[in-house]
Amino acid sequence: MPRYLNVALGQLGPIQRADSRTQVVARLCELMRQAHAVGAQLIVFPELALTTFFPRWYIEDEAEINSFFEQSMPNAATQPLFDLSKALGVGFYLGYAELAQEATGAVRYNTSILVDRSGQIVAKYRKVHLPGHKEHEPWRRFQHLEKRYFTAGDGWEVTQAFGGVVGMAICNDRRWAETYRVMGLQGVEMVLIGYNTPVHNAPAPEHDDLSLFHNQLSMQAGAYQNGTWVVGVAKAGVEEGVDSIGGSCIIAPSGEVVARCLTKGDEMAIARCDLDFCAIYKRTTFNFDLHRQPQAYGLITQRKGETLGADGTVWAAPSGV
Ligand code: CDV
């Protein structure tokens, strides 16, 4: 019997710096209502969905930095979204900046949560692949200071939820094969991803024309190679003068796109996803137990005495080793 999960894309248009959390949460609630009206059980919102994408600015004042972070979840501003989730029976994925209190003090993460259909948080994920740079680089049109403002999370753990095996990733994670494979090895059936991707890539502007293509390429490959659904959701459009891609989409384990947003504004789109469709790929082409060869991965470099440098360069060991 098919295990259908009706999943909605909750794409956001830009959030300007002056927009309040209350205004943004009202937009999220409106997308959730639209999703519920067409039968959604789960809606996926973008990365850092409560504020403007503040890592584009070099900010020195700690209090100003912290103003973009949430110290608890839910909190007064986001409670209406949790209440609506419970009232409608629609779960959600939400990305936000988290200020956590740990034994060592306050730590900042780029975080997502998974909320079930009763409005309860059932999983939390902290972004592993933090792109960009740590120091101010005035030569850039805009900064990408995720390495400055966030600490990396410690990996991917899947969750039994929505009748299947669900995993989360955030933005840059989606470009890395490891993200999907670590969850694929745990039997993931649906990977939820929010993103903020500027069209302009300062260190490699020749990639600008390919940014939508690379977005979809990465997620389609991750879906197919691990026999999983992938749901990718953008915060799109021109935010504080920076244009970001849209292209939110739902991808089947076949690698095919089955639903896609068409605009760069607030937009909801939906697909009925059969979680049992994953098994066709997990049992055949990507049957890991049968076909993966982990003992061979890295064998040649080891045999030759080669090792990978921190920058990925292959260094040959001196002869005689
Ligand atoms: N928010 C992100 O992680 N953005 C990156 C950009 C900087 C390339 C991304 O991979 O989309």
* Nearest atom within ligand 1 for CA of residue 170: 3
Average pLDDT estimate for 299-307: 67
Across residues 293-308, what is the average pLDDT?
Answer: 75
Residue 263 has pLDDT above 70, yes or no: yes
Q: Above pLDDT 70, what percent of the chain?
A: 93
Q: Which residues neighbour 16 within 8 Å (Cβ) at sequence distance 6 or greater?
A: 52, 239, 240
- What are the residue ranges of helices labelled H in the chain? 21-37, 62-66, 79-88, 146-149, 177-184, 211-226, 277-283, 288-291, 299-303
Per-residue pLDDT averaged across 229-255, rounded?
98
Best substitution site from 96, 145, 172, 217 to test ligand 1's pocket, by max atoms within 8 Å of Cβ?
172
Q: What's the CA-to-centroid distance between 219 and ligand 1, angstroms? A: 14
Where do the domains of the chain lie, and which CATH numbers do they carry?
Answer: 4-286 (3.60.110.10), 288-321 (no CATH)
Q: Is 111 helix (H, G, I), strand (E, B) or coil?
A: strand
- Amino acid 320: pLDDT: 41
Protein residue whose Cα sits closest to atom 8 of ligand 1: 197
CA distances for 300 relative to 29, 84, 259, angstroms: 53, 55, 41
- Indicate the top mutation candidate among 51, 137, 196, 216 to test ligand 1's pocket, ranked by most ligand atoms within 8 A of CB: 196
pLDDT at 1: 75
- For the chain, the straight-line distance linking the first and the last C-alpha, in angstroms and rounded, comes to 58
Coil, strand, or helix at residue 114?
strand
Known catalytic residues?
Answer: 47, 127, 171
Query: Distance between CA 321 and CA 319 in Å, rounded?
Result: 6
Is 9 a residue whose pLDDT tops 70? yes
Write out residues with Cβ below 6 Å of ligand 1.
47, 131-132, 144, 171-172, 175, 195-197
Distance 153 CA to ligand 1 centre (A): 16
Q: Collapse the DSSP code of 206 into the 3-class scheme (helix H, G, I; strand E, B; otherwise coil) and give the result.
A: helix
68, 118 Cβ separation under 8 angstroms: no
Q: Which amino acid is at 156?
A: W
Give the CA diameter of the chain: 70
Handedness of CA 9, 13, 18, 23 (dihedral sign): negative
Closest CA to 75 of 55, 60, 54, 97: 97
Separation of CA 12 and ligand 1 centre (Å): 16
Mean predicted confidence (pLDDT) in 183-207: 98
Residue 198: pLDDT above 50? yes
In this predicted structure, the answer to whether residue 319 has a pLDDT above a threshold of 50 is no
Mean pLDDT of 304-313: 63
The closest-lying atom of ligand 1 relative to the alpha carbon of residue 198 is 6
Say if residue 2 is preceded by a cis peptide, omega within 30 of 0.
no
Expressed in angstroms and rounded, the spacing between residue 173 Cα and the centre of ligand 1 is: 8
Whether residue 299 is predicted with pLDDT greater than 90 in this model: the reply is no
Determine the distance separating the centroid of ligand 1 and the alpha carbon of 302, expressed in angstroms: 33
Residue 289 reports pLDDT greater than 90: yes
pLDDT tens digits, 16-73: 999 999 999 999 999 999 999 999 999 999 999 999 999 999 999 999 999 999 999 9
Q: Which atom of ligand 1 is nearest to the CA of 195?
A: 1
- Residue 103 token pair: 């034994």
Residue 321 has pLDDT above 50, yes or no: no
Instruction: Check if the beta carbon of residue 109 is closer than 8 Å to that of residue 153.
Output: yes
Instruction: Tell me the whole-structure pTM to 2 decimals.
Output: 0.94
CA 98 to chain centre: 15
Model confidence over 99-125: pLDDT tens digits? 999 999 999 999 999 999 999 999 999
**Coil, helix or strand at residue 9:** strand
The minimum-distance atom of ligand 1 relative to the CA of 196 is: 1
